[in-house]
Homo-oligomer: A and B are copies of this chain.
Amino acid sequence: MEIEDRIRASFARQGLMTTLGARLDSAREGKVEVSAPIRPETGQQQGMAHAGLTFAIGDSAAGYAALSVMPADNEVVTSEMKIHLLAPARGTRLVARGRVVKPGRRLVIVTADVFALDGAEERHVALLTGTMVPVPA
């Protein structure tokens, strides 16, 4: 529970997450889930979720997965992140599942998969891989 509390406190201070309507769904060691509604206010020109929304929650899930394996007095920043957009992000909600691929003292390699919930279907819409760096809190 301590990990989740720490991540929840950091998440709550991210203005962008509030603006996007994003929610921290779960956080445990090495695995974090963040989701957000697909709405016109966060859409692109064809009515689907904007790549910027998909990136934001994927990056957030991946970053907090990294934070979950770091000592308690750290924050984490993204050094680099690549996103593949696999399919149109159509539906009602995006769910990003971040996890740690390789922990490290100086760098943490992370990945996230993003799914679009569309009725009963869960569609794989994005794959992210990146590098997180610890910084003093």
Interface positions of A (Cβ within 8 A of B):
10-11, 13-20, 39-46, 50-53, 55-57, 59-60, 75, 77-87, 101-102, 106-107, 109, 111, 124, 127, 129, 131, 133
A132 CB, min distance to chain B CBs, angstroms: 11
Q: In the bound complex, do residue A16 and residue B77 qualify as a contact, i.e. CB atoms below 8 Å apart?
A: no
**How far, in whole Å, are A42 and B60 apart by their CA atoms in the complex?**
13
Q: A79-B131, A82-B129 are in contact. Are A56 and B45 (CB under 8 A)?
A: no
Which chain B residues border A111 with CB–CB below 8 Å? Answer: 127
Instruction: Please indicate the chain B residues that have their CB under 8 angstroms from the CB of A81 in the complex.
Output: 51, 55, 82-83
Q: How many copies does the complex hold?
A: 4
Judge whether A14 and B107 touch: CB under 8 Å. no
Tell whether A59 pairs with B55 under 8 Å between CB atoms, given A13-B45, A43-B16, A129-B127.
yes
Q: Which chain B residues lie closer than 8 Å to A19 at the CB level?
A: 19-20, 41-42
**Residues in B whose Cβ lies below 8 Å from that of A131:** 79-80, 84, 131
